[in-house]
Structure 1
Amino acid sequence: MGISKKAIIEGDEVLRYIPQRPPMVMVDKFYGVQENMSASGLLVTPENIFCEDGVLQECGVIEHIAQSAAMRIGYIHISNGTEVPIGFIGSISKLTIESLPCVGDDIYTEVEVEMEVFDITLISAKVTLGERIIAECQMKVATPGSTK
C-alpha cells in the first residue's frame, strides 16, 4: 500500500483506527502508508473543540499531529489483524508553527518514522496547507504493551 492522492479512509471510518472519540477526533482522512511514511488530513470545522474565533489553535495542531501518528499505528495494527493500541505523547521537540489554519482549511500531514525502539516511536511531522508548510515537529509516541 502506498500513499494515495485521494483519501483511502474518510469520515467516521477513521474511528476504527484511532482510540480517540468525538469531540477529540482530529483526523478525518487517511491517505495511506508507504515504508516509513504516512499521510492524513483534517478539514477544520467550526465545531472543532480546538477552534477559537474561527482558527484552529496550537494545541489543535499538535493533537492533529499526534492523531496522525496514531492513525498510522492503528492502520498497521488493523492490517496485521491486531487491536489498535492506546498511546500517548512522550515528548515534543523542534516544534515550529508558522501559521494556524482557519475554519474551512483542509490540512495535510505527513508523518515520517525516524526510529522505533520497543514501544516508543520517534516521528517527524510536517503539516501543510496547500503548498505551504504551517507546522513541523518531532514527537515521541509511546504505545505501552503494543506489539508492532
Structure 2
Amino acid sequence: MTTAIAPARAAAGKEKPKTFAYSSDDIKRMLPHRWPMLMIDRAYDVVPGVSGRGVKSVSVNEPFFAGHYPDHSIMPGVMIVEAMAQLVAVVYVAELLEAPTPAEGDPSGSVGYLGSISSMKFSRLVVPGDQLTLEAKLGQKLGGLRSVSVRASVGTELAAAGSLIVTTERKG
C-alpha cells in the first residue's frame, strides 16, 4: 500500500525519519471520504504522526464550481481547508498503518473530526487548473484533541495558512 522513500543522512550524521507516499487509491483506504468530498489526490513526504505534504489538483469539473461564482470559478475557502484537514487525517492514519505492529481493521474508522479553525488567512484565489500543494505539521496533543499547522500553496504563492484543532478519534 505504501511507497517507502529511503531515509537520508543529515549533515550531523543522524538519520532522518522515514517518509511515505500514498496514492489516491491508498488514500481512499485511509479516509472515509468519497467523491465529491475526497479532496486530496496524493500525499508524499509523510512522516507518520508528524507531518506531510499532499496535492489537490483543481479541475473545472469540481461540483462546487457550478454554484460558487459560476461566471468566475473560485475554489471555496472551506474546500481548501477541507483538503488540508484531509491531509492531516492521512498523516494521523499513517501513524497507525506504519507502526511496527500495524493496527488491524479499517483505518478510516480512526479518522476524527475537525474541531476548530483559527487564524486562517487566504491570500490567493484558487481556480481551475491550479494545483494546490498542501502541508500539515501536527502539534501538541491536548487530551483527545491535536493542534495542527497547515498551509496550501499554488506554485510559490501561498493560498492559505492557519491552524486547526482536530479530534484524534472518531466517536461512533
Conserved? CA contact 1:94–1:138, under 8 Å: yes
Conserved? CA contact 2:42–2:54, under 8 Å: yes
For 1:57, give the aligned amino acid: P
Q: How many residues align?
A: 142
Matches within 5 A, 1:22-37: 22-34=35-47, 36-37=50-51
- 1: CA distance, partners of 2:60 / 2:95: 31
For 2:151, give the aligned amino acid: K
Q: TM-score, normalised by structure 2?
A: 0.74
Conserved? CA contact 2:112–2:170, under 8 Å: no
- 1: CA distance, partners of 2:159 / 2:83: 13
Matched, 1:20 2:33: yes
- 1: CA distance, partners of 2:168 / 2:28: 17
Matching residue of 1:2: 19
The sequence identity of aligned pairs, in percent, is 21
Shift of 1:127: 0.7
* Secondary structure of 1:56's aligned partner: coil
Matching residue of 2:96: 77
Structure number with larger C-alpha Rg: 2
Q: TM-score, normalised by structure 1?
A: 0.85
Name the Cα RMSD after superposition.
Answer: 2.0
Which structure has more strand as a fraction of its residues?
A: 1
**Structure 1: 5+ residue stretches without partners:** none
Conserved? CA contact 1:119–1:145, under 8 Å: no
